[in-house]
Amino acid sequence: MSETASTPVLSKSCGECGMCCKVLHISELAKPAGQWCGVFRKGSGCGDYEARPQACRGFHCLWLTSEKLDAAWRPDKAGFLMYPDRDGKRLNVVVDPGKPASWRREPYYSRLKAMSQRAYDGYELLICIGDRRVVMFPTEDVDLGVLNPDHKLVSGYVERDGAQVPFAMVLSDVEEMVT
């Protein structure tokens, strides 16, 4: 999670990026999402590299591990980082709060839209801007607004009048519907 972060066998290195040291919540450090880690040093990376927590040691963003994403997608250039979770079923796009519209710029937006085609197969592409969540589908972006971070969200397709219609909602909404 820094210029000097160790990586698996990769052809890329973090360089001067460090975006994960800003946008991610690191519980071991009590570091909130969207704020620079107190030991990050611009230009030199992690200032406590040997003692950095496991969350930092184990994190590799999608740009770092993908051969399909060129230099324009390095997170500090793009203004967001990406990483999968839910066993690869979700792709998180975590946006730099200082550049909240970065994901809507080109060439990023069109490529993200193409990636969201996997929604038809049950995958979720989730844009995270602080606590605001937007679920991207090929045909539309469902902006759920600012969410309670304790609430989980669900998304997918429902059949309506013979057509597949995308939906996204927070789980608390679902609980209210079934109680």
Binding site for ligand SF4 (CB under 6 A): 1-2, 5, 14, 17-21, 26, 37, 39-40, 46, 48, 52, 56, 59-61, 63-64, 74-75, 81
Residue 66 or 117: the one with the smaller Cβ distance to ligand SF4 is 66
Minimum CB separation of residue 152 from ligand SF4 in Å reads: 24
User: Burial level of 142, CB count in 10 A (0-12/13-18/19+)?
Assistant: middle
Minimum CB separation of residue 130 from ligand SF4 in Å reads: 17
> Could you tell me the two tokens for 36?
């620079």
Residue 40 or 123: the one with the smaller Cβ distance to ligand SF4 is 40
Minimum CB separation of residue 136 from ligand SF4 in Å reads: 20
DSSP-derived letter for residue 112 is H
Residue 59 or 109: the one with the smaller Cβ distance to ligand SF4 is 59
> Could you tell me the two tokens for 107?
């060439």
Strands of 39-89, DSSP E: 40-41, 45-46, 80-85
Minimum CB separation of residue 18 from ligand SF4 in Å reads: 5
Residue 71 or 114: the one with the smaller Cβ distance to ligand SF4 is 71
Q: Say how far apart CA 162 and CA 179 lie, in whole Å.
A: 28
Q: Say how far apart CA 5 and CA 11 lie, in whole Å.
A: 14
Minimum CB separation of residue 74 from ligand SF4 in Å reads: 6
Residue 75 or 166: the one with the smaller Cβ distance to ligand SF4 is 75
Contact in structure between 63 and 15 (CB atoms under 8 Å): no
Contact in structure between 135 and 122 (CB atoms under 8 Å): no
